[in-house]
Chain A
């Protein structure tokens, strides 16, 4: 697969490490959320046949974490964003 890196352009997916569902970005705050909430966040995920937002790491590249929107049936990639930008938009900070 080719991942169109927002900074570096098209790069071979062989250079990346796959983590999984981008919903992992919504990590609860450990000081306020309990075990239940953490458990749900860590273990319960959808497994769609179709569009899937997922986290990829450009390990053999610029070490950016990316949010890649990929169709799990066709492998078509419709969007690639820097995970840091996405996280900030979600309100994540420090």
Chain B
């Protein structure tokens, strides 16, 4: 069976043949095919199973609105679930499999659900899995999880890469059908920066699917000509295979470009998809219209599809979906399908026209006032049953049925800022309402101008209008001649009278009955209707079915459709893969790394690294023979206590604060006083938030009369800087203070332990004796002539210094320190040993400064000066925060040294009931040798 349903014509390249498989069966197609068109060409109509009832399904449409033909595309790690076969561009070697069916799409065990359909009606989950509650986790949820969802995940990592990018334009045109092309051409010729994006791989929209002419040319040829002219304009960017997924604030649009989806695998280094953030001054929505069906019994069989799609498969892809085709219509457009198919040599057996007026198609069995009331065929359409105007029924053999209930303007994106579409009585459809995204205007069928001329004219007019608002002038060139047929439609939403099921939303298996049940159970508001029946949910978001659901509800409530209202659309327009949103930010590239100046040296030493924010810091330095981290860390601590240890502390935030008011400024931002600090000295500072809780701490040195260097914790470096800018600009705007971060500019090492000075004396060019460089001293030094800074401060409880050089010399400094330290058995310690030593010294850190601690809790209450105004001073005096019986930080030691407690453990009196009232505090941090905790007195 090789392309048995392929007919002449179409925009496919028959000189090349692509081989592909579906459910393991090999088929052939051509460049220009979609997976759906190629399968249909091969006579394959059954492509999947429905969500709830596992009904056999084939494509309903020829576009991104497709609810049925969802497949697994590709295999292995590249397998992608829920891919719409109607938009999957065929490539050589493509493999696809059906989903939601086991063991096969032709024989699906869960199709048994279809027999129990009365059980699976609207609100099924809410009603069925109610009790007993204990059944939820063990019984219901596993069943639902197994049965729910359509495609399955491979659980393998996606091997492809995804990019992100930013684009700018004067005018974004969304959709490259006649309206979009007309708009882009008008704006492009006027010199505006234009982006024209279309989700299809071939621009032209419906022009590619119709036999219409524009001027003297076939519509598709006219489109190709315009695309060629646009491509030649340097100010126009054409973006085929690009879906605009959402209208965000102030002219920002999201776009997904499928860069490599039409290839078996992306070229090396190339992304599979790119997520663009488009900044537009103006945008024109030219997204066309989407055809809607008419519901009748068993209207979901493979072979029953939208009439316009039957026409599209014939005209664009050279595919006759069936050899005996019937059309069911309530509008003039259905007749166009019949005419086009017959011109292609397809046997059109009947046009079942719900309208009673109008002219008859010559040479075709055209039944007026008739409707299709049922169909048969287990895996694909075999017969349809027609009820004629006289009430008599007739069953005829048909392999394809095209249905059209009219066209809905594609208003999706106009609703992204909550604007509600409004009802147009003439079109029997919703058209864009007021209050859409500012800067977005609508042209062509999306605005309700359904003819080709209407599209060309409004595209041009809207482009001129958009450019005028940007102060640019565009010319109204004479439009080529195109059809301008009026709309002729008689409302027809669903066929009444039967007892069976008529599908509205085939993806979610929502039928007319479900809407009736929702109404009966008082879920009649549109928002309730949607949630109760799942109408319009999942991958297609009700692009074809929503309006019918509303019409059915309107009929039941006795209201009009506009009175019934409509739900609104949200981004994304079509499903977006998680990988696309993640872009390059995954795995080890999830975020950038920050490396310390001694990183290279530490790597050479075999250090174990830990992520601290974005920093990679050495956690400990294992030595040969050490098999447990405790051995390394204990050794590092003991060596430091005994002689000297070195630690890279570059990650601490450093902020250079200068200006004549620098001291006064620090008095405001620190709870304690800094204006009195002598030049060449440093002091420990405590920073509060306005609510009185501890914000941050660190040492600040006065390097000159109007020059300080502040140290912050590693974690708060950015937030403290932001806070200081706030204080300087907003709270005290006339203070003479200038700030700049110098965290990265200086490589800084802590040198701690009884031999710290002896070591430093060997490498520092100046006298740093206790007299020359006393405790809390700070100053400039040189190391072998290289400029540096020295601070005599200690966080780990020993004689200690911090020494700094410009970062480029950091690697040399650690090597020099280690070389000079050899005679003292100097070691380098990591963050674990640092933690142990600060716990033993009683210094608070992140575990204690958790945003719920006051200075008093931390034993630092006396540091809060009340002689001056400072951030947090006033509110730190609140009743609950100065409670003398409040929490206090204390050190604790286990009575039994072998006993182990973990941080976070709460203390209880022996025998006390574990209730809040008996809480004796909790362990905040733990060192390897001693334990430290916060407990209440």
Contact = CB atoms under 8 A, between A and B. Distances in A.
Q: Verify that A and B bind, or say they do not.
A: yes
Interface of A: 1-2, 12-13, 17, 19, 24-25, 27-31, 33-35, 38-39, 42, 55, 57, 59, 63-65, 74-77, 82-84, 87-88, 92-94
A52 B690 CA distance: 22
B733 interface: yes
B153 interface: no
B730 interface: yes
26 contacts: A1-B249, A2-B249, A2-B250, A2-B251, A2-B252, A25-B730, A30-B873, A30-B874, A34-B874, A35-B878, A39-B878, A55-B726, A57-B722, A57-B725, A59-B718, A75-B250, A76-B438, A77-B250, A83-B730, A84-B730, A84-B733, A92-B730, A92-B731, A92-B732, A94-B664, A94-B732
A29 B250 contact: no
A88 B734 contact: yes
B559 interface: no
Contact of A59 (B691, B722, B877): B722
B619 interface: no
Interface string B878-890: 1000000000000
A72 to B, nearest CB: 12
A1 B873 CA distance: 36
Q: Which 6 A-B pairs have the closest CB atoms?
A: A30-B869, A2-B250, A93-B734, A1-B249, A87-B733, A38-B874
Contact of A57 (B279, B690, B691, B726): B726
Nearest to A90: B733
Interface of B: 248-252, 279, 417, 438, 661, 664, 690-691, 718, 722, 725-726, 729-735, 868-870, 873-875, 877-878
Contacts of A65: 725-726, 729-730
Nearest to B867: A31
B627 to A, nearest CB: 45
A27 B250 CA distance: 32
Contacts of A27: 690, 731
A30 B733 contact: no
Contacts of A87: 729-731, 733
A92 B735 CA distance: 10
A63 B731 CA distance: 15
Contacts of A57: 722, 725-726
B570 to A, nearest CB: 15
A58 B732 CA distance: 18
A63 B725 contact: yes
Contacts, number: 84
Given A2-B251, A38-B875, A94-B664, A64 B729 contact: yes
A74 B726 CA distance: 27
Contacts of A34: 874
A48 B557 CA distance: 36
The interface centre, meaning the residue of B661, B722, B877 with most chain A CB atoms within 10 A of its CB, is B722
Given A2-B279, A83-B730, A94-B734, 9 more contacts: A1-B249, A13-B249, A25-B730, A30-B870, A30-B873, A35-B877, A38-B875, A65-B725, A87-B730
Nearest to A89: B733
Contacts of A88: 733-734
The interface centre, meaning the residue of A28, A74, A77, A94 with most chain B CB atoms within 10 A of its CB, is A94
A29 B871 CA distance: 10
Nearest to B872: A30
B638 to A, nearest CB: 43
A35 B875 contact: yes
A75 B874 contact: no
Nearest to B873: A30
Contacts of B870: 30
A83 B870 CA distance: 20
A4 B726 CA distance: 20
Contacts of A19: 726
A31 B868 contact: yes
A46 B553 CA distance: 41
A88 B799 CA distance: 47
Contact of A93 (B250, B732, B868, B874): B732
A42 B664 contact: no
A49 B241 CA distance: 39
B733 A75 contact: no
A58 to B, nearest CB: 10
A94 B661 contact: yes
Contacts of A63: 725
A84 B729 contact: yes
B690 A42 contact: yes
Nearest to A76: B438
Given A75-B249, A83-B730, A87-B729, A31 B878 contact: no
A59 B873 CA distance: 27
A59 B496 CA distance: 62
Contact of A29 (B252, B690, B869): B869
Contacts of B252: 1-2, 12
A88 B725 CA distance: 15
Contacts of B722: 17, 57, 59
A36 to B, nearest CB: 10
A33 B732 CA distance: 17
B362 to A, nearest CB: 55
B453 to A, nearest CB: 35
The interface centre, meaning the residue of B279, B691, B873, B874 with most chain A CB atoms within 10 A of its CB, is B874
A27 B872 CA distance: 11
Nearest to A59: B722
A39 B875 contact: yes
Contacts of B664: 94
Nearest to A4: B250
Contacts of A29: 869
A31 B869 contact: yes
A59 B725 CA distance: 10
B725 A93 contact: no
Nearest to B719: A17
A38 B250 CA distance: 37
A64 B868 CA distance: 27
B667 to A, nearest CB: 11
The interface centre, meaning the residue of A2, A24, A38, A82 with most chain B CB atoms within 10 A of its CB, is A38
Contacts of B691: 42
Contacts of B877: 35
A41 B438 CA distance: 35
Contacts of B873: 30
Contacts of A38: 690, 874-875
Contacts of B731: 25, 27, 87, 92
Nearest to B869: A30
B560 to A, nearest CB: 28
Contacts of A74: 417
Nearest to B438: A76
The interface centre, meaning the residue of B438, B691, B731 with most chain A CB atoms within 10 A of its CB, is B731
B424 to A, nearest CB: 25
A75 B418 CA distance: 12
B726 A93 contact: no
Nearest to B740: A63
Nearest to A39: B875
Contacts of A33: 874
Contacts of A55: 726, 730
A82 B716 CA distance: 25
B760 to A, nearest CB: 36
A57 B251 CA distance: 22
Contacts of A39: 875, 878
Contacts of B733: 84, 87-88, 92-93
A27 B873 CA distance: 13
